[in-house]
Amino acid sequence: MYENLLELAQKVGAGAAELLMDRPPAFEIESKSTAIDIATQMDIKAEKFIVDALLSARPDDGIIGEEGTNREGTSGITWVIDPLDGTVNYVYGLPGWNVSIAARDANLGNSDMGGEMVVGVVTAPTINSTWWAMRGAGAFYNGAQISCNNPIELDRALIGTGFQYDVKHRISQIEDFAKLSPVVRDLRRNGAAAVDLCHVAMGAMDGYYEAGLKEWDWAAGGLIAREAGATFTQYGQAPTQITVVAGPYLHGKLEEFLALT
């Protein structure tokens, strides 16, 4: 039913990734919510590329973009895009940054939440990786179907996390990090939420939690993780809402350990 949306997201994501691989010799850096929450001219250029391509193919759709695009549509489909997830990695020349594109259908699920995600594509060219999922059709990595690790005990779990740009909110995150560190296999901070979610989906990490994610951070990767069998749950309210993703067994252990219920 949503195959045309998936094909479009894959095509546009690949085009945006190619554009971003041509890194400029210098960056024009803007601060957003805080001094360390940054955007570059390439974030803005990639968002324009994605928006123009999506609307050229589907002019009646809505769009929500990290860099400011906010367009109401009439089709019931809204695209949720992060044109450059992992901007700090990108600026420093580190791998794992990606293009995240999801489509949400207002006719499904909770209309107050804008509907349900039906397509998600995450394209990470520096690690030769593309993940995608369509609602009810499974999750895939470079063409092969994937599934999360389950069951995994907490003391055998490799857990990913991240830290908020507003440093005053990092205190509670560091407390959670300190609690988990002695009881899990290890912790990772890779710097790009969408790829972290996809790593859980394919079993490259066992679980992931982070506070303060925005919809464009989790829209595509969250669908991919769910379609790979992971449990995806959010707790609390912005700006400190916590997202937890893991196989069902480990998810319950993390939920209990982090006192989220």
Backbone angles phi, psi at 139, to 5 degrees: -120, 150
pLDDT (mean) for 59-63: 98
One domain for residues 110 and 27: yes
pLDDT (mean) for 41-46: 94
Q: Is the pLDDT of residue 204 over 60?
A: yes
Which structural domain range is residue 140 located in? 3-146
Q: Is the pLDDT of residue 29 over 90?
A: no
Q: Is the pLDDT of residue 31 over 70?
A: yes
pLDDT at 37: 59
One domain for residues 15 and 124: yes
pLDDT (mean) for 8-17: 98
End residue of a domain, out of 97, 118, 146? 146
Q: Is the pLDDT of residue 38 over 80?
A: no
Domain total of the chain = 2
Residue pointed to by tokens 């707790």: 235
Q: Indicate the average pLDDT of the chain.
A: 93
One domain for residues 13 and 130: yes
Spatial contact of 251 and 235, defined as CB atoms under 8 Å apart: no
168-182 confidence digits (pLDDT tens): 777 788 888 889 999
pLDDT at 261: 76
Backbone angles phi, psi at 115, to 5 degrees: 100, -160
Q: Is the pLDDT of residue 72 over 60?
A: yes
CATH number of the domain enclosing 27: 3.30.540.10
End residue of a domain, out of 146, 181, 211? 146
Beta strand pairing call for 38-40 and 62-65: unpaired
Beta strand pairing call for 207-211 and 158-160: parallel
Q: Is the pLDDT of residue 250 over 80?
A: yes
The predicted model scores a pTM of 0.95
Give the number of other CB atoms < 10 A from CB of residue 205: 26
pLDDT band at 153 (very low <50, low <70, confident <90, very high): very high
Relative orientation angle of helices 193-202 and 215-227, to the nearest 10 degrees: 10
CATH number of the domain enclosing 240: 3.40.190.80
One domain for residues 132 and 69: yes
pLDDT (mean) for 73-97: 96
pLDDT band at 34 (very low <50, low <70, confident <90, very high): low
pLDDT at 239: 81
Spatial contact of 254 and 207, defined as CB atoms under 8 Å apart: yes
